[in-house]
Amino acid sequence: MNKYIVIDGGVSSPKGFLSSGIHSGVKKSGKNDLSLVYSEVPAYSWAMFTTNKACAAPVTLSKSHIQDQNIQAIVINSGNANACTGQKGLSDAYEMATVTASALNIAPQNVIVSSTGLIGLPLEMDKIKSGINKAVSALSVNGSEEAAKGIITTDAHLKTIAVQVTIDNKVVTIGGMAKGSRMIHPQMATMLSIITTDANIDKAYLKYLLNDTTEKTYNMISIDGDTSTNDMVAVMANGKACNNELNANHSEVQSFANAFAFVNEYLAKSIVADGEGATKFIEVQVVNSNTLASAKLAAKSILTSNLVKTSLFGEESNWGRILCSIGYSGAQFDMDKLEISLVGDNKETIKIVENGQSTVFCKESAKKLLKERNITILVDFKTGSQNSIAWGCDLSHNYVKINSSHIS
């Protein structure tokens, strides 16, 4: 039973957090392009970053600053990724941290920096620096929505969430915001996710929790198979809820872990649901595998197959494409036991593969099911007890149209 409740809000919902989002002038549209998240006290923190070796300057800087695990501010600009910009880019990222730190009267190493947008262009630092000071002045407990607006690029929808859970008779709040709608692939993607909480939590356990949750959420989504230069998921915990310190042995730690997992899964799924040109939200469940590794390999392979994705866009029950993607995934399975089913919004289930071969199913019923927005592909290996779940979307004409017009 879930013991957390969803509330209105986002990153500044937990006690002791403020946030803001403003227009600095980087985006010519006049929309918000710079966001700030600030904790009134140093917060235990951890972050995970892109595995792309062509990582952006802010990633390099933030990897260094997060090692201290005491972060008080996160500054994010959109409209320019500050990626592939050489030594100047590194200097600019550091200057973003120092300007933020000076305005907040904190140490530069207690600031992490993120950028998102076009690759290869130098930052307009005059606009960024004046924007940071403007964002500091705008900090508010009610700034979550404006902050969420300031980090998006091609997103069609804001991605923000807050939940509360009671720990040691204290109300603990977790807030979050994210961005991302393309270049999304396991091992993160062109996505940013910022999680805040007022929980009092052990540093080592916070690090474990973020690593474990990221592996089960952000690393289990895919839109187009591209991993970006700027990906980051970060968490800040400032202890303002005054609960007894959460660690692996705390009697109520699972309640917090469940709430934390919900926040991150919600944000990860919101990214996929906002996939550029997407018409379908696809959930893949691989169950009863001998190993977790095989279940994950199969789930990811189905989601990243362009042939599967285009079939789903065309609302065709092409079971052979699904089976083929499992076959080359590297997963270990018994072909003679394999089952595949399609599940619709109303839980209607159509088995399309049994014992590794096509079933006699009604193509018209399958076509009708595939017209729904939310579709689950259920794969049963029937060889073990390990399960995995992943999320993705279809590949439409509109995705190609949208991305053919981007210069970076």
pLDDT single digits (tens) 45-67: 999 887 777 778 888 999 999 99
DSSP string over 201-239: B-HHHHHHHHHHHHHHTGGGEESSS---SS-EEEEEE--
Side chain identity, residue 83: A
- Name the pLDDT band for 83 (thresholds 50, 70, 90): confident
Active site residue 166: no
Supply 16's token pair: 């002791």
Do 178 and 270 contact (CB within 8 A), yes or no? yes
* Mean pLDDT of the 204-213 span: 96
Do 283 and 389 contact (CB within 8 A), yes or no? yes
Side chain identity, residue 130: S
* Residue 19 reports pLDDT greater than 60: yes
Distance CA 134, CA 99 (A): 12
* Residue 225 reports pLDDT greater than 80: no
From the list 116, 190, 217, 376, the catalytic residue is: 190
* Residue 182 reports pLDDT greater than 70: no
- Name the pLDDT band for 224 (thresholds 50, 70, 90): very low
Do 162 and 13 contact (CB within 8 A), yes or no? yes
* Residue 185 reports pLDDT greater than 50: no
* Mean pLDDT of the 108-129 span: 93
Buried/exposed code over 307-343 (b: 16+ C-beta within 10 A; e: otherwise):
ebbbbbbebebbbebbbbbbeebebbbeeeebbbbbb
Supply 354's token pair: 């049994």
What is the gyration radius of the CA atoms in the chain, in angstroms? 22
- Name the pLDDT band for 186 (thresholds 50, 70, 90): very low
* Residue 154 reports pLDDT greater than 80: no
Instruction: State residue 117's pLDDT score.
Output: 84
- Name the pLDDT band for 184 (thresholds 50, 70, 90): very low
Instruction: State residue 405's pLDDT score.
Output: 56
* Residue 349 reports pLDDT greater than 60: yes
CB atoms within 10 A of CB 13: 25
CB atoms within 10 A of CB 249: 8
